[in-house]
Structure 1
Amino acid sequence: MCLGIPGEIVEILPGRTDLARVEVAGVRRAINIGLLGEGAVRPGDWVLVHVGFAMSKIDEAEAAATLALLDGLGQAYADELEALSGSDIT
């Protein structure tokens, strides 16, 4: 199962306006933010991450509600976090 998981933008990678580092449940990984458009997000913003891409910008309340729902999915969510922790697009 592939899930869209909320992640908080920690930083825009230096020299790469298409990449940002996000934190998802304690896991930090670089993702592609190019689909959102240059300057669309900044540190502190929340995005919905799917297969290494930020698909949309979301607000903090939506992120919290989605994370609570995902946590209830159990193994599917754990599998998605494991896949995220093993990815590297830099």
Structure 2
Amino acid sequence: MCLAIPAKMLSIEPDDMAVVAVENVRKRISTALLETVAPGDYVLVHVGYALHLLSEEEAGNTLSLMAEAGVLQEELAEMAGDS
């Protein structure tokens, strides 16, 4: 389905790249579209790009709604397959 999904920044890498995590899935993404990000921040990720900073509360609420709607596991599987 390829929805944007909230993820937690784990580490910042050179060349506007970072590693994020959603549940047990980790993925390397681009942070080129954001001015500043830091480990521990929550970002909205779509097709390998961090699009927007989120609060921890916003990220949690969105992930809960995605799980309730039955789309979270599908998105996690897609995200893991793209690694």
How many pairs align? 83
Unaligned runs of 5+ in 1: none
TM-score normalized by the length of structure 2: 0.91
- Name which of 8, 33, 36 aligns with 1:35: 33
1:17-56 matches, within 5 Å, as 17-37=15-35, 40-56=36-52
The alpha-carbon deviation at position 65 of structure 1 amounts to: 0.5
SS in 2 for 1:34: coil
Give 1 or 2: higher strand fraction: 2
1:56-71 matches, within 5 Å, as 56-71=52-67
C-alpha distance in 1 between matches for 2:61 and 2:46: 17
C-alpha distance in 2 between matches for 1:59 and 1:44: 10
The alpha-carbon deviation at position 30 of structure 1 amounts to: 0.5
Q: Deviations over 1:4-63 (max 9, x none)?
A: 1110000002xx2411000111111111110002xx110000000111110100110100
Name the structure 2 match of 1:72: 68
Name the structure 2 match of 1:3: 3
Unaligned runs of 5+ in 2: none
C-alpha distance in 2 between matches for 1:77 and 1:50: 14
TM-score normalized by the length of structure 1: 0.85
State the percentage of identical aligned residues: 43
